[in-house]
A = this chain, B = another copy of it.
Amino acid sequence: MVLYGAIEAGGTKFVCAVGRSPTDLSEPARIATTTPKETLAQCIEFFRGQPKIDALGLGCFGPLELRRDARAYGHVTTTPKPGWSNADVVGPLARALGVPIGFDTDVNAAVFGESRWGAARDLDTAIYLTIGTGIGGGALIGGQLAHGLVHPEMGHLLVPREPDDLAFAGNCPFHGARCWEGLASGPALARRWGAPAEALPADHPAWDLEARYIASALTSLVLVLSPERLILGGGVMQVSALFPLVRKYLAGSLAGYVAADRLSGGMEEYVVPPQLGTRSGILGALALAEQCA
């Protein structure tokens, strides 16, 4: 019976597990993200302590080199994260474990997991967004994970400034207050309101403004990619008041321009949380393993 390995590689921890599906996934091991050498060695040690796997899936923080024919395939490229710029992540794992490796961004893995077992099952086109410390997005388009020149990342797409937010300088080192992440990530919230996002009460005006920025970004995503569903995860989206506000402002922002049944009514089926909860990423990595086996 086949067995797959999965790694959800993040900036603070690498989560490792083995299994075949959501119902038989092993208790995930959490390995602190230190240096590439040390972190990958601990991952390898984890898998050597498990029954032999047939393939490994790796959903990784980026940016990544995903082009199979590139010299740097399997590397993290230009991350500001110390020690990880140009780090080869696929190579050491492939050499040590001797199995095929399915490799993609963390957010592409998440949308793939939701496509295999969650909220994007039976859909051809869906977007997964994580809104937290950063903002990032993955896309399934025509049943395939979207790549391209580099890969979609979505967090820095430009959004119009809300008229009651003109004083905020933004929090993006690249785009200031012009991009979504600079205006709406967890750190942007904290900087604007002088308190961590989790300390802001549910009736704080922060959440109405946050919902408007999220809705603006989703408007552009709907018009560019025409997804069948938008799946919103990440720390900021744990604030349950956000979903109804985001749906309301998205409807207002689209203003009836796109005629589609899914975009009418309350959009409860269109803008949704991940059905796999916090396991979209690790299960997506498992689905990447399954696909490459």
Residues of A within 8 A of B (CB): 63, 77-78, 124-125, 137, 139, 141-142, 144, 146-161, 174-175, 178, 216, 219-228, 253-260, 262-263
Q: How far is the CA of A168 from the CA of B204 in the complex (A)?
A: 32
| Structural contact, A146 and B153, CB atoms closer than 8 A | no
| Structural contact, B256 and A148, CB atoms closer than 8 A | no
When all copies of this chain in the complex are counted, the total is 2
Q: How far is the CA of A253 from the CA of B182 in the complex (A)?
A: 13
Q: How far is the CA of A227 from the CA of B221 in the complex (A)?
A: 15
Q: How far is the CA of A121 from the CA of B223 in the complex (A)?
A: 25
| Structural contact, A259 and B154, CB atoms closer than 8 A | no
| Structural contact, A150 and B224, CB atoms closer than 8 A | no
Min distance, Cβ A220 to any Cβ of chain B, angstroms: 4
Min distance, Cβ A142 to any Cβ of chain B, angstroms: 5
Most B-side CB within 10 Å, residue of A157, A221, A260: A157
| Structural contact, A148 and B125, CB atoms closer than 8 A | yes
| Structural contact, B160 and A256, CB atoms closer than 8 A | no
Min distance, Cβ A291 to any Cβ of chain B, angstroms: 14
Query: A259's contact among B77, B152, B160, by CB below 8 Å, is which?
Result: B77
Query: A227's contact among B148, B158, B257, by CB below 8 Å, is which?
Result: B148
Min distance, Cβ A167 to any Cβ of chain B, angstroms: 14
| Structural contact, A148 and B174, CB atoms closer than 8 A | no
| Structural contact, B228 and A220, CB atoms closer than 8 A | no
